Structure 1
Amino acid sequence: MSTNAADVLVIMLHGVGSSGSDLAPLADAWTTALPGAAFASPDAPAASSFGSGYQWFSVAGVTEENRAGRVHDARPSFDAVVSAVIEENDFSNRLDRIAFVGFSQGTIMALDAVASGRWPVGAVVGISGRLASPLPLQPALRTPVLLIHGSGDEIIPATESTRAAVTLRALGVAVETVIVPGLPHTISIEGADKAGSFLAASLSRLLP
């Protein structure tokens, strides 16, 4: 769902084995908090290695040692997808009016976009993800970040969001963290509400 007359653009980035349509309903939850916003939820560029949905990079055989390399190699295709969405919505010269919202692998790519300095957007929300960017990190310091994670996540431990926050804060990025007790690898109503409030606060100067 998008409109060329929008004041801000929220780009939602799904996890591996999923698709853009899975995150699209978040737009309905945030319409009130974000009047004048357009929402886009593109599919990742590659078919999932596990037979359904899409992926930003393959997790087949992924390890702590090779993950950063896969994130690095995924940058051109990620940038192409995001650039196409931004151009379609007429936001090419308005990066400060754009927010990235990622879930799981989508969070990895959203955080990498900011941690590498490639995409100095207006705000980032990362849900149930991790910072897996190759060094050196040269973050966009004006981009506020919200990290949301469930303490019951067995896919990506909540400690990954805590660790990401420590790393980014040490580099000068403003980071908030929310750990939802007992929540598994999913998006809760509480998390969605917090994300909507954070986006509204971060982008409020641009909204009608």
Structure 2
Amino acid sequence: MDAGPLVVLLHGVGARGRDLEPLARAIARGLPGARTACPDAPEPCDWDAGTRQWFSLTAVAEEERPARVRAARAGLDRAIGGIVAAEGMSGSLGRVALVGFSQGGTMALDAVASGRWPVAALAAIAGRWSIPAPMRPPGGTRVLLLHGEADPVVPVADAGRAAAALEGAGLAVRVATYPGVGHAIPPRGVAAVVRFLAEALAGEAGTDTAPRPVPGPGSGPGPGGWA
């Protein structure tokens, strides 16, 4: 029997892969047979060596973020590539999805926007749009962007920026924003991710993530870490 689809979840800075395991379990329940993986980012976090980061936020200016994302690509690609290879999915990226929260959402957005990972689906939650040019996204990747409207860490306007850029590059994008939600993954967001992945990976119909207007910028860290 064929193995099920693979979902790789990417945590934020100041967290570990295990912090996204509750979301991974919800995905596994909603997609029977699906496999999930929650890798640790390669670098120790600047302010907590017991947690990890994809790239440093120390003394980072907004204009410097794309360069830091670019520098972090090799570490991300090793993490995703190792999982994909171990699960026997190197030739089946059309049955792979990426889910990222916060800094992990930024890295997942870059993985698709750069064209490096032409996966079936991408769900980015509270991800910052700091993607280096040029963009070369694969045409078949479906995208879901989720964001709390009261996020004090990554402005909700970044979801609108990401949607505009990705739609302009030809991708199908859905956006859902959540009033009163900060930098976190709300229960409604978990349900939306599960339904989106079921539709994208298993052909199941139905989602509550129809596009809605993204407002301008408006708690502590969510379960996957800071941005």
TM-score range normalised by the length of the shorter chain: over 0.9
1:143 Cα offset (Å): 0.3
Alignment of 1:170-189 (within 5 A): 170-189=168-187
SS of equivalent to 1:102? strand
1:32 Cα offset (Å): 3.1
Q: Counterparts of 1:37 and 1:153 in 2: how far apart (Å)?
A: 31
Q: Counterparts of 2:103 and 2:3 in 1: how far apart (Å)?
A: 27
The answer to whether structure 1 residue 45 and structure 2 residue 27 are counterparts is no
SS of equivalent to 1:16? coil
1:50 Cα offset (Å): 1.2
Q: Counterparts of 1:141 and 1:50 in 2: how far apart (Å)?
A: 39
Backbone CA RMSD of aligned residues: 1.4
Q: Counterparts of 2:113 and 2:188 in 1: how far apart (Å)?
A: 26
- Size of the alignment, in residue pairs? 203
Alignment of 1:138-153 (within 5 A): 138-153=136-151
Alignment of 1:39-188 (within 5 A): 39-51=36-48, 52-188=50-186
| Identical pairs, percent | 45
For structure 1, list consecutive stretches of 5 or more residues without a partner in the other structure. none
142-151 vs 45-54, greater mean Cα deviation: 45-54
For structure 2, list consecutive stretches of 5 or more residues without a partner in the other structure. 205-227
The answer to whether structure 1 residue 29 and structure 2 residue 31 are counterparts is no
Runs of 4+ in 1 over 3 A off after TM superposition: none
1:148 Cα offset (Å): 0.3
1:27 Cα offset (Å): 2.2
TM-score (norm 1): 0.94
Q: Counterparts of 1:66 and 1:26 in 2: how far apart (Å)?
A: 31
